[in-house]
Structure 1
Amino acid sequence: MVSFHLDDSREVNNVFEKVKEDSKIVLDKNPLYIFYLLLDKIVDEYFPAAYKLEDFIGELVTKNGSQDLIEDVFEVRNQLLKLRRTITPMSELLYRILNSERVNIPKEDHLYFMDIYDHLLRLIEIIDSNREMTNDIRDSYISINSYRMNNIMKTLTVLSSIFIPLTFIASIYGMNFKYIPELSWRWGYYAVLGSMFVIGSLLLAILWKKGWFK
């Protein structure tokens, strides 16, 4: 068997040491079994990465509406996408090997490669499940922000509804006309303030009754 890789491969080194220590693997098994050991080791190394991303997603749930939450979500989705782009072609290639008439795999070795294929499918399921979780986190983040924005707009609407008629009254008596009957009235100032207070309280009571403050 010949392997080609530009950098040092830990998986290849581990399998090489295992074969070197156990000579029976070389004597009793064919090269296809060594290929199985190498492929199985490579596939198994993807599980820690997938579980690490899964744990990170679990930590994201506790952040709730944190400002950097959405950035972390997109970062982990990007990593999941890269991982899926690596694993999916491997599963497709192994599927073609298992079902190809040109590659003669003995029945006793066929189960070994089916086991690797099952591991690849399991990895794809983990990645897809994690991507769904990131979708839920993203949607929850958007929903929470929308809810907060709606509450802010509701508060501003309530304040505007109360102060609009008060502003209207104040603008009338703020006009620079010389002859305004109430200007010469002794109790005019207090009457205007009282009417503004009554109007504001009445509007506040109406909005409260309609449930705008809930």
Structure 2
Amino acid sequence: MRRPVTVLGALALVLAGAGTASAEPPLEVTEQITDAAGLLGTGAPAAEQAVADLAAEDDLDLYAVLVPSFDGADPGEWAQDTARQSGLDETDVLLAVAAGESAYEYGYWVADDFPLSEVDLDRAVTAEVEPRLAAGDRSGAVVALASQLQDLAATEEEAAQQEAPWSASTIILIIGGVAVVLLAAHLLSRRRSSTTRS
């Protein structure tokens, strides 16, 4: 498994030390948004639409799990254990968020063979996801991560096309064109040979 990423919010250590009756152990997720405590609030539909669009357009599945507390567990390890229990694979991303009134923690997980750049993903999470969580905008964080994954997928696809600019259909057309030219040249050569013998 790829190293899980862990981030602690400004007062997360205080929250973890205090403990809470709402702490959740790692769990098996069956839906892309798991938010039993309603931490997404009115932004839940936007988050659900964002992960659905990502899956439809880029064949990547973003799973967001929001709980009140990790009960002192390392957020990255919590995310990794949840991904393992859920049977997630190389095209999946798991974002785990524990949010209280004045603190947050989060970690995320991707597999070793995740198709996008780990460096770019780390940068996107730090720049786009973490500030929204710090501001209490949990649904915005999920939407931002889905958007960043779409952008990264588009960048990877563009780079692949530049490395191999000819598509399979283009190659077939070129081969077909060369074959037609060779056949025409062969027939013309035979015709000229026949005319010379006459």
Q: Which TM-score band (shorter chain)?
A: 0.3 to 0.5
Of structures 1 and 2, the one scoring higher in RCO (CA 8 A, sep 6+) is 2
Per the normalisation by structure 2, the TM-score is 0.35
Q: From the two aligned structures, give the one with the greater strand fraction.
A: 2
Q: From the two aligned structures, give the one with the greater helix fraction.
A: 1
Per the normalisation by structure 1, the TM-score is 0.33
